[in-house]
Structure 1
Amino acid sequence: MLLKSTLKLLNNPVNRLLINRINSFNYGTVTSSINLDFLKRDKTSKAMKAYLERAQQHDEFMKTQNEEFKIGKRHLANMMGEDPVIYEDQEKIDEAISYLMPSALYDKRARPMMKPPEKIFPERKAAEFDETGRAHHFLFYTSKPNFFQLLYDAVEHLNGLNKFEDNMTRQQKSVDPALRLELSGSEWINQDQLELKLVENIQPVEYRYFVNVMNRLIEHPYSFRVKDFIDIYRRPLMNQTIILDIPKPHIDKDGKSFITVYECLRKKARGDVTVRFPGSGKILINGQDVTYFEYDQSREQILFPLIFTEMLDKVDIEANVEGGGPSGQAGAIRWGIAMGLRSFVDADVVEKMRYAGLLQRDYRRRERKKPGQEGARRKFTWKKR
């Protein structure tokens, strides 16, 4: 029996390899010092190793960006002549950026900004598998688990509402009309915003699937029970406020339509502008024509809204302005003309005017002098002796 058990041990390839390793050592070597690393296996998968490397690179990148952001806040405090401590608040940072670098661009993404790196750079997915490479999420192999998880949750809510409706029907109870969802002032988030929320890239056809499923959910009579889930993917309609506030023109004694824009401001200039339609292109500024302004740049500012909307020879302009210099007066009149032309052009042209920055009031002012220096930015000349 002992011979048979010995032969079985020798026939095992792992045991033979171990015996050969032991025999390769000197006889006096202690057996406990034998290196058995060849019997150990690295349980970490290649996918997990690649993820850990990418995560380490991303952490180092974000660490560098956070350090640069802190340095930028100190520089911003020095330019504003204030204590860096108060610039821990994002509102203070936005106010300083808008003061130092004003912009009349309508799209906020095109304006200068300074925000924490976490709000600028997109989020990264966390590990979705363990050290052995086994996926945690049950929809991992769909390649878009967050998107399909969203569809799954929407269907689960819909099934729950159907069950609740069946129970109410058996109890002969009807839904209260006052509890119905009112979503007239909002819309579904667009595809880009949905991708940021899910941290996944989706196709247009998949976005349509999302809209269709969510529309079915809000059409349910008891959809108010899942209002919190629906509000996550809705955004308010704020872009149409300027269009809705367009005043209707008045009629003068000659039968012409006119609109008067008051409080036309630019720097220290104050004025009002009247736009009459139809007209022949006549422009009066304090009783004079465009030669009221000596420089061509100021005249171009006056004519730009009329040329942009192709209304140069179709309306008459009457402007009264006082205070400030030629640049400020021209800017005030330009804004008044643009706001008055909204009543005589269609909505598409108004939208183009807004993108061109014609409807944005310019609030810039002369920067104040700072104590301890010669001017707003200029410093005193340093002399060693």
Structure 2
Amino acid sequence: MTSGSRTMFALHHLATLSTFCRCFQAFDGARSLSLGIQNSSKINSVKSYLKNIEKNEMILSIEKKEYENGRKFLAQIMGYDPVHFTPEQVNEAIEYLLPSSLYTKRARPVFKEPHLVFPPQKQLQCDVNGRPLNSYFYTTHQNFHKIMNEAIYKLEEIKLHFDQSYFNRTTVKPTLKEVHYATSSDFMSKINLMKMINETISDAQYKQWLVLMKRLSEHPLSYLVEEFIQHYKAQICGPTSEIKLPEPFMDSVTNRKCVQAFGQKKNSLAEVTLYMPGTGDFTVNGARLLEIFPELGNREQIVFPLQQTNTVGKVDIIATVSGDGSSSLANALRLAIARCLASMLPIDQGKNRLLVTGLLSQDNRFAERKQPGQRKARKKPIWKAR
């Protein structure tokens, strides 16, 4: 190769190298620009989130000051000590000072703390780089799918433990508890579940969660995950010690444990004597249940406490009813049976389950009187403009 050709080759190589360097610099500049745009967008999103949090905290602080000032002023009006003015007394004062005849309680005036009125704000769900902290972030219901997966993992864990106890002969077989057939009333309602996870779910999603929790609680080894199940059980409202129940005693004639209870609905009264153990005999006023209550709905209402406590065919009942109306008689009889079962059975099987389903609640409603100028209590004559 001559000196001229070598010079031309070197110049061509330098030109190619300079072109490659310019292209690489342009690519690196575009890449750094795109990364800068992404980082700036992430920083802006974090700034926007922090700004919203500061705005929400500022609103809550202002509302708290106004609430405290209003609470102190309300205590002075009612003659209470502002320091020991409880929320229950606040509600009573509002009901006394601002009486309302509105039927819907949500439409009545209230005076509550700000954190009970304003919805809670979700925490930051991504890190500094913008990556979601929750692995279920892209499911649009991350908290719901998280508890669903936790329940599935718990179920598979106890199923594997159950299988290994039989496959491995050296392992001592676990003690199996009596299968408890759970009902939908054993677990928290859809509204309470949405409050817990701070998300809105559909009825189909709630049914899926309910079926999964029932399968988990009905497994023979469910006591291994009892803490997880109890976390989603329905909470009993109010202390259970306030409900007075009759004391069971031994019948000298039949030598069986028995208890007597009363029930009332409007002008209907029911007196029940329940014997345990029994064969399922049910007599009302000396006759069969079908003869006194021919309607299917009334019989289902009466047997409902027995179904909830799984005592159908295991007790004998002798009842006496008096009053008018078939549905009121059935309601009074159901209340008396529920009180007998709550007194006779253990707390977990009887009292707690009946409290959750509302079978131990006394219905004190009466028929409303006829209003003057109207045809009935609520029925009014047809109004015509002309």
TM-score by length of 1: 0.49
Higher relative contact order (CA 8 A, sep 6+): 1
